[in-house]
Amino acid sequence: MSEMITLSKEQLAELIDTTVKSVGATMVEAKLKELGLDKPARKFVSYKGQIDGMSETEIKALDKKEKIASFVKAVANKDTASLQAFKAMSEGTDSTGGFLVPEEFASEVNRIVEDFGLVAKLARKFPMKSDTLNVPRLSASISGSYPGEATAGTPTTPTFERVVLLAKTWVGLTPMSNELLEDADISVVDLLTELFAEALAGEIDSQGLTGTGSPFTGILSDTGVTVVQPANGTGNSTFTGAATPDNARDLISNVKPWALQGAGFIMHRTVWALMQKTKASTSGDYFISTVNPVVVGASQTQGFPTAMAGTLWGYPVYLSDKMPTTTAVSTKFIIFGSLRHLYVGMRKEMNMSLSTDGTVGGVSMFETNQSAVRVTARHAIAVGLPKAFAVLKTSAS
């Protein structure tokens, strides 16, 4: 039976340290030999020209290997003195250690979400089974009279017309490499789908509010909508002068009472800021309270697509970045009315497809190992009842 050896804590720690150092050094030496780095260091006078049949690139590569080998050996042997030679290595500089630290990106894309979707959420929607949908509307009503005793009354008949919803196809197209689709930490297709949905909502807002007829005519451009234009020479030729509570009140009086239900003001956020800064001429107090009067739901605050930014003359104010923001004379820039009288025909909801075939922008997806995301939607937009709206226009001078 062998004799038991008793070691103190200090002796045991020293034994472990020596053993680890010995085994570690042996393993390092074996690996260096396997890599061909155990040979005596070469003493290079210059990297120019050939040394022992080696090119300048090969000499530099070997020198780098030798430096790495020396560093590894110093770490394994806990050689503090040798490690001092590497004290200049740092993460901030690529050549002195930065290449050893991989770049890291969060698996998300931070961005400001576009606040669009006002028209899509508040307008009246009509499902469409074909490219064209006719919506009848009354253009002139009937009337009566008091003809008197034994006198024939005057006959009248209502007059009808139609609003034509003609569907157009909206297309979004984005090519990308298949390597990006495979290697990205985030779902590129999901991100693009979200961005396209916002872009489509923005385009519907643009066409419904300010469209000029290509392809749809919006509220500001419809000739049947009532236009309120202040008199010339009164400071109303710019947004700054015309965006006043008084002019906004004139819009309300130009819309018949039956159309006031659900009505509100629609303007660009910069115009709303001008309106908010309006002060009473006598007291100097703000006409509109600077405290946000409305918060809709826990996740919607002022200005979000269908949430009110505030109230004006008791009616909600909605903001849209698709409304005019560049001031000029004779420019329509504020809408008053209910978007229920703006019609949106839905022929086909947004559809997305991914393809590796075909050509996008003159580039073959198949030949270049790319894929293309295509998003389509078919819809129509028309002002259903123009007289349910009034718009404010800057003066001509």
- CATH code of the domain covering residue 330: 3.30.2400.10
- Indicate whether 2 belongs to any domain: no
Residue 63 lies in a domain: no
What does the pLDDT read at residue 352?
87
Distance of alpha carbon 117 from alpha carbon 267, whole angstroms: 14
Highest-scoring range by mean pLDDT, 8-22, 44-58, 83-97, 243-257 = 243-257
Which residue would you say has higher pLDDT here, 71 or 129? Answer: 129
* Residue 379 reports pLDDT greater than 90: yes
Confidence tier at 131 by pLDDT (50, 70, 90): very high
**Distance of alpha carbon 274 from alpha carbon 294, whole angstroms:** 19
At residue 321, φ and ψ (nearest 5 deg) are -75, -5
Token representation of residue 318? 């909605």
Number of alpha carbons in the 13 Å side-chain half-sphere of residue 347: 16
CA angle 76, 81, 86 (to 5 degrees): 75
pTM: 0.69
For the chain, the average pLDDT equals 80
Dig out the tokens for 200 from the structure.
């489509």
Higher pLDDT, 350 or 84: 350
Cα 58 from chain centre: 50
Report the pLDDT value the prediction gives residue 211, as an integer from 0 to 100: 97
Least confident of 44-53, 114-123, 146-155: 44-53
pLDDT digits (tens, 9 = 90+) for 282-330: 777 777 754 444 444 444 455 556 678 889 999 999 999 999 999 999 9
Question: What SS3 class is residue 331?
Answer: coil
Residues in the chain: 397
Q: Per-residue pLDDT averaged across 75-98, rounded?
A: 59
- 166, part of any domain: yes
Q: What is the DSSP string of 283-295?
A: T--BSS-SS----
Domain that holds residue 228: 118-142+157-393
Cα gap 139→160, rounded to integer Å: 5
Quick check: is 80 in a domain?
no
Domain count, the chain: 1
For residue 17, tell me if it sits in a domain: no
- Distance CA(123)–CA(315), nearest Å, equals 17
